[in-house]
Amino acid sequence: MGSFEHSRSVQRETALSAYTLRLHYMSGIDPTTEALDAVDETEARELARVRLLLTRDYSHVELHRGGEALHVFSRD
């Protein structure tokens, strides 16, 4: 990897903020927590919505950053 490509990769990595998703199962078993890297909260919200829609196993998904709940997405 060239120097320019490496610096772009490092910039992209440092620009990401760490979010977490708490995935709540329809069956009622304990929720699962997943790490989520996103550039900003808007991207994190969109990724959380997509994660909820990827499977019918989840009733709702909570988006967190730094231990603080930001938003809850529920299945219709």
Contacting residues for 65 by C-beta, under 8 A, at least 6 apart: 17, 18, 19, 20, 41, 44
More confident residue, 64 or 8: 64
pLDDT of 76 strictly over 80: no
pLDDT of residue 8: 44
pLDDT of residue 15: 59
Contact 75, 52 (CB under 8 A): yes
pLDDT digits (tens, 9 = 90+) for 16-69: 779 999 999 999 999 999 999 999 999 999 999 999 999 899 999 999 999 899
pLDDT of residue 17: 78
